[in-house]
């Protein structure tokens, strides 16, 4: 079964450093998303991406964050100048199209720990 692949599975970084979280969506999917889940809290929408541009972003997704699809397969989330409160599980998701029957497919997540 096709999978969304995320790397690394766990990243530890020092406060103030930049991190890049990587995702390889399912190959025929066109819509891509990043979500985060702070430990013990609910899953929060960060950003959606379609046709090589951001289609929607939440209030969490401020100038500290950016996304890109540099090579047509990888979909990355960059977090600049990380803060302690950025520690969370970050999920990438993709789906085939706007009328997809089976919902989104999530990757297994990257656990980011900022120390």
Partner 1 sequence: EDKVVQSPLSLVVHEGDTVTLNCSYEVTNFRSLLWYKQEKKAPTFLFMLTSSGIEKKSGRLSSILDKKELFSILNITATQTGDSAIYLCAVEAYNNDMRFGAGTRLTVKP
Residue from 11, 58, 74, 113 binding partner 1 (CB under 8 A): 58
| Helix, strand, coil % in the chain, rounded to nearest 5 | 5, 50, 50
Name which position in 2, 12, 18, 55 contacts partner 1 (CB under 8 A): 55
Residue number with CB closer to partner 1 (14 or 28): 28
Considering the rule CB under 8 A, would residue 50 count as an interface residue with partner 1? yes
Q: Does 20 bind partner 1 (CB under 8 A)?
A: no
Phi, psi of 114 (to 5 degrees): -105, 125
Using the minimum distance from each CB to partner 1, give the nearer residue, 9 or 81. 9
Q: Strand (E) positions, 4-109?
A: 5-7, 10-13, 19-24, 31-37, 43-50, 53-57, 65-68, 75-79, 88-95, 105-106
Q: Which is nearer to partner 1, 11 or 108 (CB)?
A: 108
């Amino acid at each position: 079964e096709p999978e969304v692949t995320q790397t690394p599975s766990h990243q530890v970084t020092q406060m103030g450093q930049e991190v890049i979280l990587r995702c390889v969506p399912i190959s025929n999917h066109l819509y891509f998303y990043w979500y985060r889940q702070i430990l013990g809290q609910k899953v929060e929408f960060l950003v959606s991406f379609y046709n090589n541009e951001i289609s929607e972003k939440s209030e969490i997704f401020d100038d500290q964050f950016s996304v890109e699809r540099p090579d047509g397969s990888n979909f990355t989330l960059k977090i600049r100048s990380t803060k302690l409160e950025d520690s969370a599980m970050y999920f990438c998701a993709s789906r085939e199209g706007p009328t997809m029957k089976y919902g989104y497919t999530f990757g297994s997540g990257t656990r980011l720990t900022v120390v």
